[in-house]
Structure 1
Amino acid sequence: MSTNHKDLKQQSFPTYSMDEWMTAVNNSLKNKSMDALYSNTYENIRLKPLYSSEDLDFTNIDQYSGSRLRIRGFDSPGDQPKTWRIAQKIKRQDWAEVKKILKRALENGQDSLSFDVDYLENVDDVNFSELNNQNVPYFLLTKHHFHLLLKKALEVEQSHSFGIIAMDLISCNLHQGKLEADSPPILENWSLQVLRAHRELPNIKTILIDTTPFHNGGANAVQELALALAEAIFYIEHMRNKDWEPSQVAKKLVFHFGIGGNFFMEVAKLRAFRALWTTVARAYGISPYEDRVVVSAETSTFTKTVLDPYVNMLRSGNEAFSAIIGGIDYLHVSPYDEIFHENGEFSARIARNTQLILQEEAHLKRIVDPAGGSYYIESLTNELVEKAWELFQKIDALGGIVEGLKSGWIQNDINQVLNKRLLDVETRKHSVIGANVYANPSEQISYTNTKNEKTGGTIIPITSVRIAQAFENLRERAHEMKLQGKKLCAGLICLGELKDYKSRADFVTGVLATGGITTDWGHNFRSFEEIKEFISTTKFPYYCICGTDDMYKDYAMKIGEWVQENYPAIKIDISGKFTREQMDSYCKRGISDSIYLHQNMVQKITSLLNLWEV
């Protein structure tokens, strides 16, 4: 039977009202509340289970890029740049190596001259003329070598010099507790370099607003946006003292963001930024023809792990995708091994090719703001704009970003969010694959020194954190114990049939694996004598009983009492969540503790590893 395509074109889905949808959901939830479908983000935004046209005011939505608040993009249709620039940051200590790798990268898809300037040991040897970088922009963000880089750029033909050579005096040394923007001599020297570059390198953007230290310190999207605006105000006001108009400052601005793992939030963050910056620009009288600023991004180090590092490829791919959908001009995708050693050729190639795939195979270079019109993303964008503007006003009331950092108010605000994030990882409310879930205890790991630099500064530092560090520390501790010849293996006392204990045994096995502890399952125990034989034969320092609650009533207390009498050094837990009264009765009969969902696993594993150190 042939298909009538004309009829298919006339087909449509039936339209349902929100009330009809809620009725269907309530029927499927049965005894659960509708509240179970709502969730809260770290930005204090309450996410709904369904968004519709009723959530939007269509009269206040940008219809195309370059209009109103620039939410859909700075550039008008027809004026769009070809695509974003691939700005993979080469990380090597020797200039000769950087030069060789960068030349090869430029031949294989990279289209920006980018390397980690501050990682170089022989930065004085940098010679841009050796790169033959005509028509390739600089993308050089530095904390320590701003003056030197500008000097090096002046040594080549000026007509070839364009792009970004920039430094952020506010955020560059926050990890050390130093606020360079509060030092008049440093600020004055920086200003002189900006003014000189404006005269002699007019096509170089020099004023960086780098929010990645805040992002990698645990800040949420609202905080990143508000701090970006507060930094912009600081630089505009400072350069006014040098007789610069706000529009002149805007032409030199580069906003640099870290991109985390919450896909839709990161898309909305970049869209919200354009609305917020446009609002500030209008307040300063910057015309719509002069308010276009460069937005660059890099994938987060906060989300990356030493454990199961190949998963970092997937994380970076997700983050890169959201950055591109949100709208950026330059992008660095972190290689999967970036956090624990210099990029290998393989990891650097995969990171660069991630961007090339998104450009050439996903065709993202051919579209503008594909998220526009999404009820969810438009609503999220609007909420970020409102909350970020409110926080920006609070920072401004403190006297601006410098005063906010000097008082510690900003650091405290970020730390509150960071502590929530870390607690959610430790209790496994937030999953980190390979670290707190689906861990491989036998994995060979290249551990890295995660100690922070000494501060010696005058303000509270904002240090870079990685979300899985606590579990990495546990695994490193377990690794060192194994090197000492200790066998980290726990016994599982599995009661009854497989269906009775498997779910709890799997759960306990997964939890212990996050601390590098393997498990030996004692299967299908149906008598107390079998259990005693298993314990007497294996003599592990730790066992966990897995089964049904009814089986615990028959066996748990007997096992606890027998072990307490015969092997007092052995610790016995049960799997499951119980009331305080129930646990008190178990503990009185030799049971030490329990393992259950949303328990603080870092604290739990730490206490268990102590058993093998005795």
Structure 2
Amino acid sequence: MSYEDWRKLVETELKGAPFDKKMFSPSYEGITLRPIYRREDAAHLPHVESLPGFAPFVRGAHVTGYGQKPWDVSQEIAVSSPAEFNNAALNYITRGLSALNMVLDHATRDGHDPDWAAPEQVGAGGLSIATLADLEKALQGIDLGKTTLLVRCGASGMPFGALLAALARKRNKTRALRGCVETDPLGVLSHEGKLPQSTGAAYDEMAALTRWAAQNAPELQTICVHSRAWHDAGASAVQELAFALATGVEYLRALAQRGLEVNTVAPRTRFAVTVGSQFFMEIAKLRALRMLWSRAVAAAGGDENAQRLSLHVRTSRWNKTVYDPHNNLLRATVESFAGVLGGCDSMQVGAFDEVLRAPDDFSQRIARNTQLVLQQE
């Protein structure tokens, strides 16, 4: 059936109602969504014939997709004690977790000794790590060469990075380190409105940590562009992409001024993107980010390997309900599936009760199993 014949049938069913008004839908992003799309509508798009693993990486960063290795299953462990963190981590790893998502508390993220920090900062919002002994206790029994570490360090990853380097050297695992010691000063500034140091000082520490990783831990990333602050503030998919890309480019420029080439910085940069429930829009958002980052890195002189986007996805929080939290299971499943089709390298599915309280073992297990089922599918 041709489009014209289909439209005539629809207009008959509409009984005189305007076709454009009833069948076309404006999105929050300002994009008019059509009722039906055909192959001809995409024929003019330049990336339609692109292949997985090749620039601009719209269809993923790897040639085989998830055929050889699935994405890392990640989960935040919301405790403040290193011993509690270790117990939970060892338990979760035996149940399918492949990436430890470590969120540091406010005192650690700001570089404050817990003995001297304000009491309300210690243990607030995450794990308190002040010494090498603390980190050893948190990661006791965990193989640093087999477990991806995603550590939310705030504006500077230097204090935690130094402790991790010392622990890895002690275990003879420095070159096996993988994951990201997440440094994101502009993300912190956007979310909290302030920084514990100047942006220049944050960039200096980011450059030093990135230089060390490039020389000693080639699989360890040191920069992470978080989009959550803008997503939670109500940004559209287009705005979220714009802010995230601008942040990533700013980091490339700042580190270039400090003597680091784009081919060194870009592969050590990860994007952490929050995904909402608009299924097709969110898939398009992630794929568009791949293409935009590839172009930005290419314009800065980066080679094809540097243009590959490393992507962490997290399901949204602001669209979850406190009145019927089991509905959040459906929303999180839709969002996580969008993350998979968008080509994530790691993902965290929020627990269905996370907007009500600290997630319990049951809700955490359901969140992990959502990803494990998707991997098997």
For Structure 1 versus Structure 2, the TM-score category normalised by the shorter chain is 0.7 to 0.9
Partner of 1:130: 140
Equivalences for residues 100-499 of structure 1 within 5 A: 100-118=87-105, 119-120=125-126, 122-124=128-130, 125-127=134-136, 129-133=139-143, 134-143=145-154, 146-154=157-165, 155-156=167-168, 157=172, 158-178=174-194, 183-360=199-376, 362=377
The answer for unaligned runs of 5 or more in structure 1 is: 1-15, 363-614
Contact 2:286 2:342 in 1 (8 A): yes
The answer for unaligned runs of 5 or more in structure 2 is: 106-124
Contact 2:294 2:309 in 1 (8 A): no
Decide whether aligned partners of structure 1 residues 50 and 146 sit closer, same or farther in structure 2, where only a CA change above 3 A counts: same
Partner secondary structure for residue 131 of structure 1: coil
Q: Distance in 1 between matches of 2:35 and 2:279?
A: 17
State, as a whole percentage, how many aligned pairs show the same letter. Answer: 29
Equivalences for residues 515-530 of structure 1 within 5 A: none
Partner secondary structure for residue 25 of structure 1: helix
Decide whether aligned partners of structure 1 residues 213 and 261 sit closer, same or farther in structure 2, where only a CA change above 3 A counts: same
Partner of 2:18: 33
Partner of 1:73: 60
Per-residue deviation, 1:120 = 3.2
What is the count of residue pairs matched by the alignment? 346
Partner of 2:69: 82
More RCO (CA 8 Å, sep 6+): 2
- Aligned letter for 1:286? G
- Aligned letter for 1:167? T
Decide whether aligned partners of structure 1 residues 49 and 102 sit closer, same or farther in structure 2, where only a CA change above 3 A counts: same
Decide whether aligned partners of structure 1 residues 195 and 180 sit closer, same or farther in structure 2, where only a CA change above 3 A counts: farther
Decide whether aligned partners of structure 1 residues 46 and 179 sit closer, same or farther in structure 2, where only a CA change above 3 A counts: farther
1:427-471 deviation per Cα after TM superposition (whole angstroms, max 9, x unaligned):
xxxxxxxxxxxxxxxxxxxxxxxxxxxxxxxxxxxxxxxxxxxxx
1:479-508 deviation per Cα after TM superposition (whole angstroms, max 9, x unaligned):
xxxxxxxxxxxxxxxxxxxxxxxxxxxxxx
1:313-371 deviation per Cα after TM superposition (whole angstroms, max 9, x unaligned):
111111101100111000000011222322211111110011011112x2xxxxxxxxx
- Aligned letter for 1:82? K
Q: Distance in 2 between matches of 1:236 and 1:63?
A: 26
Per-residue deviation, 1:129 = 4.6
Per-residue deviation, 1:67 = 3.5
Q: Distance in 2 between matches of 1:160 and 1:25?
A: 60
Per-residue deviation, 1:270 = 0.8
Per-residue deviation, 1:43 = 0.4
Decide whether aligned partners of structure 1 residues 167 and 250 sit closer, same or farther in structure 2, where only a CA change above 3 A counts: same
Per-residue deviation, 1:174 = 2.2
Structure with bigger gyration radius: 1
Q: Distance in 2 between matches of 1:59 and 1:300?
A: 29
CA RMSD of aligned residues (A): 2.1
Q: Distance in 1 between matches of 2:195 and 2:34?
A: 40
Q: Distance in 2 between matches of 1:231 and 1:307?
A: 36
